[in-house]
Amino acid sequence: MKDHLALCFLHFANSVSLKNNNSRVSYERDTKIINAASFTIEREDHTIGNIVRMQLHRDGNVLFAGYKLPHPLQYKIIVRVHTTSQSSPMQAYNQAINDLDKELDHLKAAFEAEVARVSGEY
Amino acid sequence: MEGAASYQRFPKVKIRELKDDYAKFELRETDASVANALRRVMIAEVPTIAIDLVEIEVNSSVLNDEFIAHRLGLIPLTSERAMSMRFSRDCDACDGDGQCEFCSVEFHLRAKCINDQTLDVTSKDLYSSDHTVVPVDFSDSGSGFENNEDQRGITIVKLRKGQELRLRAIARKGIGKDHAKWSPAATVTFMYEPEIHINEEMMETLSLEEKTSVVDSSPTKVFGINPHTQQVG
């Protein structure tokens, strides 16, 4: 009698693996307003949503930028962008992402240099 | 597409304090959204290793199997290897059942109380298959923890005479978003720091008594008074 054998699964894999779904960002143009679009980003939340929104606000051609988490159980965000006719939502979005990417690369390098400096002092 | 003005920023970092388990730094020339993203990532998205799967062979302790499995999960493990490890759900070498070296670390625990004294089963009784992934030893970090001789490891369960615990545990890589046991941080906070400018011209017009009352108006003694020049700074 295998009386004391128990398997305990602590981890419930509720994070459904979307491994085969290759694209994480989808783009949908607004049908009524020109230069307006929504980007749906899968498997992201406020962490990314808020920095993308704030970066879009820095762009003078962006008339509106906002994000929402449609439902707390749905692991995705929707970023909505309106721009002037000088730009386009896709251009503004790409620029925001590129600038953030470079900013964070810089931040990483700056932090590592600072850690090296501080730990060298001791 | 490019050619438009760049809105990139170059944040400045200055570390004020750096210890083994504590860091405090200034972040300039960016905004709160970046600081908050950094905070959220540190809490919930930095991968660590924690016990995730427990197979209990013998458990005659007073705690039930699930309770012990949960306690094992909460034991902090050294996670330098986490970045080079695979998530078991992305592992091709196994079916994600935690049997391969790329996505899992195996632990064994065997303990039996044979005398009248209560036996404390602690994190020191866990034997790891990988010497780089072991329960975190707090005894040499020095800060906060009482370093008594009897303080050895983290208590998992206490055994009375005749009771026994035998199990196999599998640790996996994970993130704090899945379960807080994978969160590497105790707390992460940020705040704006005020920058105080004293109007020197106006300050000069005040009498010493008035200057003293300005200095005393701060409950945390932010200002001081120079005894020689009688300047507030």
Contacts of A54 in chain B (CB under 8 A): 31, 33-34
pLDDT at residue B218 in the model:
86
Its pTM stands at: 0.82
Give, in order, the Cα–Cα distances in Å from A36 to each of A44, A89, B21: 21, 6, 47
- Is the CB of residue B6 less than 8 Å away from at least one CB of chain A? yes
The values of phi and psi at residue B198, to 5°, are: -95, 130
A101 pLDDT exceeds 60?
yes
Question: In which order are the strands placed within the sheet that holds A76-83?
Answer: A25-29, A36-42, A76-83, A62-68
Give, in order, the Cα–Cα distances in Å from B47 to each of A12, A23, A63, B41, B174: 17, 23, 37, 10, 5
A31: CB partners within 8 A, 6+ apart: none
- What is the overall mean pLDDT for chain A? 84
A11, A51, A119: residue with CB nearest B37: A51
Which of the four pLDDT bands, split at 50, 70 and 90, describes residue A8?
Answer: very low
B15: CB partners within 8 A, 6+ apart: A114, A115, A117, A118, B23, B24, B25, B26
Cβ atoms B164, B111 nearer than 8 A: yes
Interface confidence: ipTM more than 0.85: no
Mean pLDDT lowest among B47-51, B140-144, B207-211: B140-144
pLDDT at residue A116 in the model:
94
B54 sits in which H/E element: strand B48-59
B1, B25, B58: residue with CB nearest A91: B1
pLDDT at residue B96 in the model:
58
Distance CA B226, CA A17 (A): 64
Put simply, the answer to whether A19 touches B90 (Cβ < 8 Å) is: yes
Give the tens place of pLDDT for each residue, A46-84: 999 999 999 999 999 999 999 999 999 999 999 999 999
Chain B interface test: which of A1, A2, A4, A8 (most B C-beta within 10 Å): A8
